[in-house]
Amino acid sequence: VWQVLLWLMLAAQAVMVLGLGSHLKGKESPDRPQHRVQHGPCSYTFLLPEIGSCHASATDYPVSNSLQRDAPSLPERKWPAKRLQQLENIMENNTLWLQKLESYIQENVKMEIAEIQLHAVQNHTTAILEIGSSLLSQTAEQTRKLTEVETQVLNQTSRLEIQLLENSLSTNKLEKQLLLQTQEINKLQEKNSFLERKVLDADSRHEEALQGIKAEKLEMWGLLSKQAQLIQDLEQQLATASANHMVLQRQQASLLETVHQLTGLVSQCNQISPVPKDEQKVFRDCGAAYKSGLHANGVYTLCFPNSTATTRAFCDMETSGGGWTVIQHRKDGSEDFHRTWKEYKHGFGSPSGEHWLGNDFIHRLTTQGSYSLRIQLRDWDSNEAYSLYEHFQLDSEEQSYRLHMRDYSGTAGRTSSLSPPGTAFSTKDADNDRCGCKCAQMATGGWWFDACGPSNLNGIYYPASSTTGRYNGMKWHYWKGPSHRLKTTTMMIRPADF
């Protein structure tokens, strides 16, 4: 483009050189002739010089203007022929020059277009190359990323494989453990069945034991009810005991007086009577003495069965046909009956007064034959009553002088007041009763205490002045109640077939 412009400028300069004078003059005239060249979108306009106003000759102003042909024709007379020829030559030269210029411009334009096209192609190629390179770089990036991903996947795969291996190993271990567990479970099941059998056995045994325990429980209930009754009695006795303390003291004084009187009587007896001849004989029992013709009450000498040993006993030869060997007698409370086992075994007191003949002798006598027992009672109002047992027997000392009696009758209660058959003898130092307590210590004296039973003729001797009964007093329950006061008691035995 710049070259084309350069060429145009050169052409303009040439025109100016050709007709400067007329050119200046032509400016002032708008009707001056023009020449237009069209080349594609570009158009070139050339102004042609005016020769008419020029006074100088054509030779003086040599102008090379090829456009003269196109200029308006001037009157031929003003132009000399020579000059015209010159102008024509110049015009031809200019025309040639312009043609050259035109072709040159065309060539240049072509080159320019080719260059532009080349440039565009280059730009395009560059852009494509850039796009290609960017695509390449993107591809490389993608490839790199893919490689990374592949590496990660490979790592993961190897990790998973390792885990799989570990898992299979642990599975093997677990299988082994499972096997062991199964074996142990089998063993345990065997043990369990064995234990179950044992438990069943134990259950049956327990059931039996339970039955036994239930029976014992029932017995215990019976005992408990008895105990409750006794406890009630005891409470009553305790309440009265304190109230009667003063009374006891008075009784002691009166007793002392009685003892003095008795001492006087004994001394009188010693002075009066030596023992009768008949009484010096030895009998098996009072029944034998009676049958030998001795019918007087008194103290007789009796021999132990199958022995040379003797003892002395009071014989009642009057009551109910006589022949009774007195084994217990109380009448005034002069004798202490709260004695030991040994004392009850051998006997104590005086045969003519208050007396206990002795368990040993009673046992021997009642086991070598069949004997009856009669219990004679009198209260402070002189009421009398008796209890009779057709059959009476005492076991040995080894068997705690157990009581055996049957065929009860009498007036001292419709029910027997003795403890049930089989009851053992107890003293303050020998507890053989059926009570958790010690009846012999609570009720005092030696007796066949059950738990503790409805009778005790060896309890404390309470005189008439005592207002209420006491649990530890002499007692024959089914005659007139547990607290009815007794004045005299006699227990005596006789052969059943007397």
* Contact set with Ca ion (CB under 5 A): 431, 433, 435
> CB-hemisphere CA count at 13 Å for 136?
6
Smallest distance from Ca ion to CB 222, Å: 16
CA distance 351 to 356: 8
**Residue 6: C-alpha distances to residues 108, 112, 173 (Å):** 12, 15, 101
Smallest distance from Ca ion to CB 309, Å: 32
Peptide bond connecting 452 to the previous residue in cis, omega within 30 degrees of 0: yes
Smallest distance from Ca ion to CB 435, Å: 5
Smallest distance from Ca ion to CB 453, Å: 12
Q: Which is nearer to Ca ion, 338 or 391 (CB)?
A: 338
Q: What backbone phi and psi angles, to 5 degrees, belong to 384?
A: -120, 150
Q: Which is nearer to Ca ion, 4 or 223 (CB)?
A: 223
CA distance 63 to 121: 47
Tell which residue, 251, 295, 273, has the closest CA to residue 460. Answer: 251
Smallest distance from Ca ion to CB 433, Å: 4
Q: Which is nearer to Ca ion, 401 or 479 (CB)?
A: 401
Q: Which is nearer to Ca ion, 435 or 460 (CB)?
A: 435
CA distance 221 to 136: 112
Smallest distance from Ca ion to CB 458, Å: 17
Kindly state the tokens that stand for 440: 């012999």
Q: Which is nearer to Ca ion, 435 or 443 (CB)?
A: 435
Q: Which is nearer to Ca ion, 8 or 224 (CB)?
A: 224
Tell which residue, 338, 334, 356, 350, has the closest CA to residue 259. Answer: 334
Q: What backbone phi and psi angles, to 5 degrees, belong to 180?
A: -60, -45
Q: Which is nearer to Ca ion, 375 or 440 (CB)?
A: 440
Smallest distance from Ca ion to CB 436, Å: 6
Smallest distance from Ca ion to CB 341, Å: 14
Q: Which is nearer to Ca ion, 18 or 451 (CB)?
A: 451
Sign of CA dihedral 51, 54, 59, 63: negative
Q: What backbone phi and psi angles, to 5 degrees, belong to 28?
A: -80, -15
Q: Which is nearer to Ca ion, 449 or 461 (CB)?
A: 449
E strand map for 310-402 = 310-316, 324-330, 348-349, 355-356, 371-379, 384-394
Smallest distance from Ca ion to CB 223, Å: 11
Kindly state the tokens that stand for 167: 């898992």
Cβ distance 459 to 475 under 8 Å? yes
Smallest distance from Ca ion to CB 451, Å: 8
Smallest distance from Ca ion to CB 469, Å: 23
**Residue 435: C-alpha distances to residues 19, 257, 321, 352, 490 (Å):** 179, 39, 39, 35, 27
For strand 310-316 and strand 475-476, is the pairing parallel, antiparallel, or unpaired?
A: unpaired
CA distance 476 to 16: 190
Q: Which is nearer to Ca ion, 339 or 438 (CB)?
A: 438
Q: Which is nearer to Ca ion, 210 or 224 (CB)?
A: 224
Tell which residue, 437, 460, 370, 378, has the closest CA to residue 411. Answer: 378
Q: Is 491 exposed, middle or buried (0-12, 13-18, 19+ CB in 10 A)?
A: buried
CB atoms within 10 A of CB 373: 25
